Structure 1
Amino acid sequence: MHISTTTVSLTVEDVAASRDFFVAHFGYQVTAEADGFAALSRTDAAADLVLLARGIEVLPPEQRDQRAQGLILAFTVTGIEAEEKRLRGEGAPITMPLREEPWGERLFQTTDPNGVVVQLVEWTSPNAD
């Protein structure tokens, strides 16, 4: 098997709100769009995103009323302090401030208008005790 692209599909109430959030704050570009649907991509290694309106008929009946929740969309970055400052400056809600875990993970979170949690992570050396 050869995987050429990774795509995360998120079912949300307001496709336009999530689309605009990812375009404005994370540099995604719209590659396809229709009523209740938007496909987003970047030119780097980030996963592509598909946003589907809750209730859209392309989903199997048992999935139509579900929405993205209980997941974290994590992006590994460099220069995490600058990214947090940039997102704050752009008005993106920082829903978990920058912190460092003892295992060497520096992270913070923002949340899109539909409740999709986006976590930015930068890995460092674990703290020595």
Structure 2
Amino acid sequence: MQITASTVSLTVDDVAASRSFFTTHLGYEERMAADGFSSLSRPDAAPDIVLLRRGTEVLPADQRDQRAGGLILAFTLDSGIAQEEDRLRAAGVDITMPLREEPWGERLFQITDPNGVVVQFVEWASS
């Protein structure tokens, strides 16, 4: 098996709100769209994101009413995590977990989109 791409599919109440959040603040571009559906991508190593409206009939019946809860969409940065937090804060994005450093050397902060999707930015501290 050879995987050629990665996609995260998120079931949300308001597809337009999440699409706007990811395209405005996180550099994603919409590639395809239909009623209750949006496919987003970036030109780098970030996974593609598919947004599906909760309740849509394209999902199996037992998945239709689920939300993207308990999921953390994590992006690892090679540098500049403090500047990224500053940029997002200046753009009015709610920083739901401010930048901190864990004892094992991971620096991270989190934001949350309008549908409750948690996005975490990670950078490994220099030794």
Superposition TM-score tier, normalisation by shorter sequence: over 0.9
Q: State the secondary structure of the residue aligned to 1:113.
A: coil
Provide the residue aligned with 2:102 in structure 1: 101
Moved more, 94-103 or 116-125: 116-125
Count residues with an aligned counterpart. Answer: 126
The normalised TM-score by structure 2 is: 0.97
Between the aligned partners of 2:2 and 2:67, the Cα distance in structure 1 is 29
Between the aligned partners of 2:33 and 2:25, the Cα distance in structure 1 is 19
Provide the residue aligned with 2:17 in structure 1: 17
Instruction: Quote how far apart the aligned CAs of 1:125 are.
Output: 4.5
Look up the equivalent residue of 1:93 and give its one-letter code: D
Instruction: Quote how far apart the aligned CAs of 1:2 are.
Output: 1.0
Provide the residue aligned with 1:56 in structure 2: 56
- The answer (yes or no) to whether the contact 1:80–1:121 under 8 Å persists in 2 is yes
Provide the residue aligned with 1:69 in structure 2: 69
Map 1:22-61 onto structure 2 (within 5 A).
Answer: 22-61=22-61
Q: Percent identity?
A: 71
Between the aligned partners of 1:71 and 1:49, the Cα distance in structure 2 is 13
Q: Which runs of 4+ in 1 moved over 4 A?
A: none
Between the aligned partners of 2:125 and 2:110, the Cα distance in structure 1 is 18
Between the aligned partners of 1:88 and 1:39, the Cα distance in structure 2 is 26
Between the aligned partners of 1:125 and 1:91, the Cα distance in structure 2 is 29
Instruction: Quote how far apart the aligned CAs of 1:120 are.
Output: 0.4
Instruction: Quote how far apart the aligned CAs of 1:42 are.
Output: 0.3
Instruction: Quote how far apart the aligned CAs of 1:23 are.
Output: 0.2
Provide the residue aligned with 1:83 in structure 2: 84
5+ long unaligned stretches in structure 2 = none
Q: CA RMSD of the aligned region, Å?
A: 0.8
